[in-house]
Amino acid sequence: MIINTDLVKKGNQFPNQIIDFKKDVDKLYFTTSNNVVLQITIRRDSVLRFRYTTKGVFENDFSYAITKHAASGFNKLEITEDDVYYIVTTSKLICKIFKENLHISIFDAKDNELICEDELGFHWEESYEYGGDIVKLSKVSQEGESYFGLGDKSIPNNLKGKRFENWVTDSYSFGRNTDPLYKDIPFYTGLHHKKAYGIFFDNTFRSFFDFCQERRNVTSFWAQGGEMNYYFIYGPKMTDVVSSYTDLTGRPHQLPPLWALGYHQCKWSYYPESKVKQVAKTFRELKIPCDAIYLDIDYMDGFRCFTWNKEYFPNPKKMVKELADDGFKTIVIIDPGIKIDTDYPVFKEALEKDYFCKRADGPYMKGKVWPGDCYFPDFTNPEVREWWSNLFKELIEDIGVKGVWNDMNEPAVMEVPGKTFPNDVRHNYDGNYCSHRKAHNVYGMQMARATYHGLKKFSYPKRPFVITRAAYSGTQRYTSSWTGDNVASWEHLAIANAQAQRMCMSGFSFVGSDIGGFAEQPNGELYTRWIQLGVFHPFCRTHSSGDHGEQEPFSFDTNVTNIVRKFIEIRYQLLPYLYTSFWQYANEGIPILKSLMLFDQEDHHTHYRNDEFVYGDKILICPIIEPNAKGRRMYFPIGKWFSFWDAEVVNGGEEKWVDADIDSMPIYIKEGAIIPKYPIQQYVGEKVIEELTLDIYFKNGKEKSKVYEDASDGYDYKKGRFSLRNFTLVGKEDSLTIQQFKEGKYITSYNTFKIILHGLPFKIGSIEIDNEKMDMAKFNIEENSIIVSKEFTEIHIIGL
């Protein structure tokens, strides 16, 4: 008989001294006298993986976050030891492992400067309630160190002095300090002494991060189960850290269709069909560009997924086609809860195939969401994901829907404590059977993954478009995202700015907010200022709750409508610039939005700036986030910046006042930039692009720019049918040279560039194009522009 006095609840435990070391190709094993094993994997010269077990053996190595396409390999690996350390050296890093206690210190191999070191290091506490370990790790916060990232958090950029929880949560009407939110991205970047490194804690249990809140000079992270398993990623540039993390967890599997980067309109809910058509018609009548209209849960029959309400939408295929004929793509919502209804084919099939999640003792997991009582598919089961993907055939292939929006996939459950599944729900976890404690944070990711594969299959040969609310690290491979159910308030406008920046610096760039706020109703000024920010987010969508009135661009007064139209038109003009930025993100992991510290980490002032960001790599944005503002103070990074509106030049490195009445906002272009522009279109593909405008901003020095184009949809670009134009600008006091080198087999529809010159410090005497003098009568003095063949290799503009 076991009595309570026989049960021992052990406290914190720590590794003892190392008694054994062995090497297996790229894996190093250090075993301590109390049976702790540290496995260090050399992923790359700048990426090390640290994995600990307290049992002497490791569990099956499985992760939803790590992509099979991640780069691996290294140029150097040396292992030495002395009386105190084992020393692991790559071409980028020196890692010292203390023999006494398994503590880790990591140094820059070039200058031997300390980058990161353990404080208490790895330790653990046995979980009396659930079994297994609560795993912990603490590190020393270096002098002047700042912390950034961690995905969807609603506070200012610098995380120092704060503590966070990662547990994917339906956080309706969240606030500035609400935590946790809808996403779990356990990755952060540390920055000190002008060097950056990253930590990715790949553990899907409920986890916590403390950035010097509990103890002033200590940062720590821990999880309520699973392994202590983290990746150390060295820069020293912050952009390299984020790029390497994105390589590790995956870049988007393909570029989005260009229309997905247009403006989208959504509401809970547009119905019946006549209402949808009226909204679409008004956009076209008022000439406000728009590419997509969304249908929320009311398009369904009793909120049953993959059905249509025949009273509201008697002929959905006909409606979708008519919208498409007018340039609108139809996006529909799909939630995870499947209504318990034996006459409902989706429910019946899933029940027969045993695809629903179950409680520990066998009953199905039942919860209330929009349809009432529901069961929930186990998306961590590959067979279920395949079944789910096939359910999209009718929606996508037959009816013609172009995109799907996954909501409520935290998973959200109504009227229960915690607003989600109980901990005892069981999951397949791709054969690594577990409880909801482990699977919760990846449930939405796996639903989005299954949805993505369905759309990829049935949209072919076009590209899929999926949006998700819930996410874990790696979800960026499959979908875009938005920041959840925000509020129509000035505070939330500022929060949206911070969230988008933070998501981008956390590897997930295809993101935006509900423009104008989901809950409550914005006034015209707030909506205008939100549009001005939103058109510079990678995902651009107005969305609102139908309970609070209308929120289309034309729902306010004429002045608001005109200003909103102007800014949406700017987005459409800049589509080739945004598409190029997306190509760089998908190919190199470079964030589409760059907070100022990401853009210039060596300037310490940028570490505490929150509002300004760089869109792509050439356009500086600073939204107006207060009412009744006629302008604002903003910080300009080092260099010279041209006003987008009048080409006035501002010298960077300081904070300055910028005028910006309601019809304007601070937009600046980096000196030397070449910015491509399309003509204004009401939707992507409305016009054949007959000429590409290149706005060229003078720089006394050298600057490189790129323009990427392809067919804007489909997969031919993966076969080399793309156009990548590499421009090099070289400016001098009395001349400007522009060189072009083109890659790719795609032939654009236009044959000429319209080049508009900004900020030349000299009067033009002559222009040579590919060593031939141009007739100066062709120079447009009024616009400061010339028309040239798109095939030019060099333009030489010479001063008088």
The residues, ordered by sequence, that sit 6+ positions from 547 with a Cβ below 8 Å of its Cβ are none
List, in sequence order, every residue forming a beta bridge with 230; answer none if it has no partner: 50, 201
The dihedral region occupied by 527, where left means phi > 0, alpha psi between -120 and 50, and beta the remainder, is alpha
The residues, ordered by sequence, that sit 6+ positions from 230 with a Cβ below 8 Å of its Cβ are 49, 50, 137, 199, 200, 201, 202, 203, 221
Please, what's the largest Cα pairwise distance for the chain?
103
DSSP helix/strand/coil, 192? strand
Q: Are 765 and 798 in contact (CB under 8 A)?
A: yes
Q: What does the DSSP assignment read for 628-694?
A: T-SEEEEEEPSSEEEETTT--EEE-SEEEEEE--TT---EEEETT-EEEEPPP-SSTTSS---EEEE
Q: SS in 3 state form for 393-451?
A: HHHHHHHCCCEEEECCCCCCCECCHHHCCCCCCEECCCCCCEEHHHHHHHHHHHHHHHH
Which has the closest alpha carbon to 400: 324, 312, 303, 480? 324
CA atoms 750, 754, 755, 758: torsion sign: negative
Between CA 694 and CA 431 the distance in angstroms is 53
Q: Are 262 and 298 in contact (CB under 8 A)?
A: no
Between CA 765 and CA 799 the distance in angstroms is 5
Question: Can you read off the two tokens belonging to residue 585?
Answer: 């993100």
Between CA 313 and CA 334 the distance in angstroms is 17
3-state helix, strand, coil in the chain (%, to 5): 20, 35, 45
Which has the closest alpha carbon to 141: 166, 118, 163? 118
Between CA 163 and CA 218 the distance in angstroms is 12
Catalytic positions are 407, 410, 485
Q: Are 412 and 369 in contact (CB under 8 A)?
A: yes
Backbone angles phi, psi at 495, to 5 degrees: -60, -45
Quick check: bond before 272 cis, omega within 30? Answer: yes
